[in-house]
Amino acid sequence: MLARVAAVSQFPGFVRWAFGAEDANDPMKMGTVHEGQSPLSAQQKPHVYQPQFFTPTEYAMIDQLSELIIPADDTPGARDAGVSEFIDFMTASDTTLQPRFRDGLQLLDARATTKYGAVFMKLPEDKQTELLRAVAYKSTSDTEGRKFFLLVREYTVMGYYTSRIGLEQLDYPGLKLYAQSPACPHEGDPEHKHLPPPRY
């Protein structure tokens, strides 16, 4: 998965989503520009993401679904991390995903219309959440709705926790720059093997 996501990260059209592991030690991508360097990545970055697969309406729906799954509270949510960009590009790159996402969005609109008399994006957020809860759990009889929810959740979690924002929430050590290597954390462990330094 990481290899696939790393390949996806080369797409220059992302505005918010950035592959955290790749950018960890790159000062040009971290916003630090040294004397004599120019911030090329900032100049080339578009201001607005252009969906590669979804229609504008579908893309807005994916953005809202991902934010409902990982909402912003005291930490950034899926929208802050640009997860909808990630999902759109992954779907555009995989023809097997395309009908699953498109059919699933249509199914969710149909469920919303049947239950509330309006398509998903016309509902207030509390009704959107209520509808998702109705299809999210194993006890639901709506197997097609649950399949779609699991698909969206899988790609939302994948997009979020491979992004810089998501890895920061995990306190991922690879994002930290150390002046020197941190000491071994097992020094007080009685089973720790205190090996002498190697002799050359």
- pLDDT above 70 coverage of the chain, percent: 70
| pLDDT band at 79; cut points 50, 70, 90 | very high
| pTM reported for the whole predicted model | 0.73
**Residue range 69-82: mean pLDDT, rounded:** 92
Closest listed residue to residue 19, CA positions, set 5, 40, 32: 5
Please say if the pLDDT value at position 143 is more than 60: yes
What's the mean pLDDT in 40-50?
A: 65
- Report whether pLDDT(29) > 50: no
Please report which confidence band the pLDDT of residue 168 belongs to, taking 50, 70 and 90 as the band edges: confident
Residues in Cβ contact with 82 at an 8 Å cutoff, skipping those fewer than 6 apart: 14, 15, 16, 17, 18, 49, 159, 163
Q: At what angle do helices 83-92 and 98-116 cross, to 10 degrees?
A: 130
pLDDT for res 3: 72
Distance CA 177, CA 47 (A): 29
pLDDT of residue 42: 44
pLDDT at 35: 39
